Structure 1
Amino acid sequence: MSLEHMTGLRCVHCGHAHRVEDVAYTCPKCGIEGILDVEYDYERVARTLTRQALAQRPLAQWRYEELLPFDAAAARPALHVGMTPVYEAPALARDVGLERLVLKDEGRNPTGSFKDRSSALAVMKAREVGRDTVACASAGNAAASLAGFAAVLGMKSVIFVPQRTPEPKLAQLLVTGAQVLRVEGSYDDAYWLCQSACERYGWYNRNCAINPYLVEGKKTAGLELAEQLGERMTDWVAVSVGDGCTLAGLWKGLKELKRLGLVERLPRMLGVQAAGASPVAAALETGALKPVEARTVADSIAVGWPRNWRKAVAAVRESHGCIVRVEDAELLEAQGRMARKTGVFAEPAAAAAMAGVVRAVREGRVGPKESATIVVTGHGLKDVRTAMQGLPPPLDVPPRLEALEALLARSG
């Protein structure tokens, strides 16, 4: 059923349309520059994707099946993905200086990150085309996600990670039985090796940078936000940016429910990059991409050569939004501030979105009477070592009440 709603694939570089059956990953005319976008017959979608229909469907990302590129009759992974909670955060809003602040907690997905939305779709697409091995390059979250969902369907996963991948993320990979290849270099080095390996061995390529179907998984968070917030949609939606496909996916999902008449207004997109890894922000300013050597503690967005930059830049421009840069110290401070005010523990890359809102308010890009949603893309337990850098150590105390009293007196 869902495949019947797809009309084709369009290159975001040259604009050429392709039939779904003719292309696997990128535009044949443009090569690696030719990132594709999935197109749908929205008139047909509107006949069945209605408020009444949604009210009867499971609270998971598959509820939007008409807008997803998979066979609706196919078996789906058993792990629950999507419809993550949104929290009103009045104390944090006051602290930041906004009228209203909302968090969408993607750390509640099965492997603790936003990437589960794409990986659930990836393993289904791999099985659809008859592959039993799926591969990806990742700084950790996409890798852990793919390993988990491949395990559910009894598939093999081959994961290429950069040398600096945090141990908790490696543990998630290894415990699910993935073949983990730690590449001596950066994320970009791991990416290119993965690309070559997929071509050599025929593995299904889960990399969002070239696989057009995986952004469709990411857009479900935008579809959910539109449905969850409805007429209370915030003025801004903030999200951290690495490759660019997360921001682009969120915007596509928001637009689609607006097009179907299920939400009245759209937010502006606030992309946030680490200052040491901000080629998408630069591309927004200059109109061209200049790869950089990524330097940031936020490993999930440490991308020096983003492939989906065109989609991200287009989303920001179309929404009349902006991209801000934040220093590592800012995102670590935001990580602690968010946890203390809301109880939500975000990994450094996810906390970058919070830091970006703080900076945007300070610079006057977001006004004090406006509202914002922060998409918390990954759980803080993904990288506790980095989180501990800005935190005081615990207080050691002997197991005696008088010792506790003395310690409390000294520490105030």
Structure 2
Amino acid sequence: MKYVKNLVCINCGEKYEALPTQYLCPLCGEKGILDVEYDYEKIKRDWNKEILKSNKDFSIWRYTPLLPVESDTPKPLLRIGWTPLYTVKTLAKDLGIETLYIKDDGLNPTGSLKDRASAVAVVKAQEAGKKVVSCASTGNAASSLAGNIASMGNDMRAVIFVPERAPIGKVTQLLIFGAVVISVKSTYEETFYLSEEAIKKWGWYNRNAAINPYLVEGKKTSSIEFAEQLNWDMPDWLVYSVGDGCTIAGAWKGLYDLKQIGFIDKMPKLLGVQAQGCAPITQAFRSGNDLIVVPENTIADSIAVGKPRNYIKAIKAVKESKGDMINVSDDEILNMMKVLGKRVGIFGEPAGVAGLAGIKKAVELGIIKHYESIAAVITGNGLKDIKNAEKAVGRPLIVNPDFKELSELLESYDL
């Protein structure tokens, strides 16, 4: 890793060699989340916007100088990243703002932003000499891991632990990719602890994003892409839905990296959005107190994390950006699924659209001003959770094969 200096504990500041299996600071335990430190001066000497512009690899690997991987380690076959960015005038008007950009990360190979982290995990597992990679997940992290491993052939295996509430679409996707899937009859929290015991006992590579510091580095490529796709002219706000805190922490890390190497001048404010039924990070952010574990009571399964492990990084990122956090109800999420589909043509899963629902609320509360520019990420594809999509839009019209009946049925529709 040409440009990586070391790992540093965000709690005590202790530094460690950047080994692929160095997950946490041993002095601080669960609070000892590590951060990857880069030699920005060396990066600036070797890499610039012109070099990047000439790179025809439109995937996350175009940003290899800012990623903690060896250049010669085999990469997953799937093309991850460089998802489309849209300027959306219709929805911006609906939300009461002038400028809205939407990045659809549901178009990543396995249907979510988490492909970015899993691709890095697969690379680091190889560098660690591991043949089995494991994690606990409500679905997206797991399917992204399984898909990326499948793309490597039969050299590696994925062992996935999911809570029993995981949507069947995501579980089926795991099985299609050939993963060993263990459905745990309990909460995500209990599922996580079981995976942790198994990983320790059998020596598997740990893909749990809040434990493994390298996975945040993969997630940060979403904000780096935002910057490049906007020609380095950053918006006023960058919006993400928040579960364990890794994604929004990664977004801030990507922006920080770009600022250090002189690619951007302006740092946007971050808006972190949690589901009202599972919002421990928002509560800690607003109270200034330690995190309190809460029940996982929301349809947005991908952000339903009652005990997030990366909340310190997430809160730090939002505060440093001079941003804010907000909660949205399940009804607001379901409504935004419908609005986004009807007005923009993007099908996002509940957790994927929570950020957009948060924009609407933040504008109403005066947190976001109508004249400010906002960029948001749809973090997951709606096809992963058809059950909740049906709650949002209902069922189709049903008719017998009779034209008269059809005509009568359609009389009330403005077609």
TM-score normalised by the chain length of structure 1 = 0.97
Q: Note the C-alpha offset of 1:341.
A: 1.1
Report 1:1-400 matches (<5 A): 3-21=1-19, 24-57=22-55, 58-153=57-152, 154=154, 155-285=156-286, 286-400=288-402
**C-alpha RMSD of matched pairs (Å):** 1.2
1:46 maps to a residue whose letter is K
Question: Any idea what SS the aligned residue of 1:389 has?
Answer: helix
More off after superposition, 228-237 vs 92-101: 228-237
How far the C-alpha of 1:17 sits from its partner, in A, is: 1.3
Task: Please give the secondary structure, in 2, of the residue aligned with 1:127.
Answer: helix
CA 1:325–1:403: 2 relative to 1, 3 Å: same
Kept in 2, the 8 Å contact 1:49–1:64? The answer is: no
The CA distance in 2 between the partners of 1:257 and 1:90, in whole Å, is 28
**4+ aligned runs moved over 6 Å, structure 1:** none
- The answer to which of 33-42 and 250-259 deviates more is 250-259
C-alpha distance in 1 between matches for 2:206 and 2:259: 31
2:21·2:128 contact (CA, 8 Å) conserved in 1? no
TM-score under structure 2 normalisation?
A: 0.97
CA separation in 2, counterparts of 1:252 and 1:328? Answer: 29
How many pairs are equivalent? Answer: 410
Task: In structure 1, give the amino acid aligned to 2:26.
Answer: P
Structure 2 CA distance for aligned equivalents of residues 390 and 145 of structure 1? 25
Deviates further, 360-369 or 19-28: 19-28
Deviation at 1:374, TM superposition (A): 1.1
Distance 1:92 1:31, change over 3 A: same
Structure 2 Cα separation of the partners of residues 252 and 333 of structure 1? 31
Q: Which runs of 5+ in 1 are unaligned?
A: none
Give the drift of 1:23. Answer: 6.2
**Shift, 1:287, TM fit:** 3.5
SS at match of 1:4: coil
Once structures 1 and 2 are overlaid, which stretch shifts more, 352-361 or 224-233? 224-233
Q: Residues 397-412 of structure 1 correspond to what in structure 2 (within 5 A)? A: 397-410=399-412
Q: Would you say the 8 A contact 2:92–2:99 is kept in 1?
A: yes
> What CA deviation, in whole Å up to 9, does each residue of 1:34-74 have, x standing for no partner?
00000000001112221111112111100111111111012
Q: Which runs of 5+ in 2 are unaligned?
A: none
Tell me the amino acid that sits aligned with residue 76 of structure 1: K
Kindly tell me: are residues 103 and 22 of structure 1, through their superposed partners in 2, closer, same or farther at Cα, counting changes over 3 Å? closer
Contact 1:225 1:254 in 2 (8 A): no
Hey, what's the Cα distance between the residues in 1 that align with 2:58 and 2:307?
36
How far, CA to CA, are the matches of 1:173 and 1:271 in structure 2?
28
Q: What is the aligned-residue identity percentage? A: 47
How many angstroms does 1:231 deviate by? 4.8
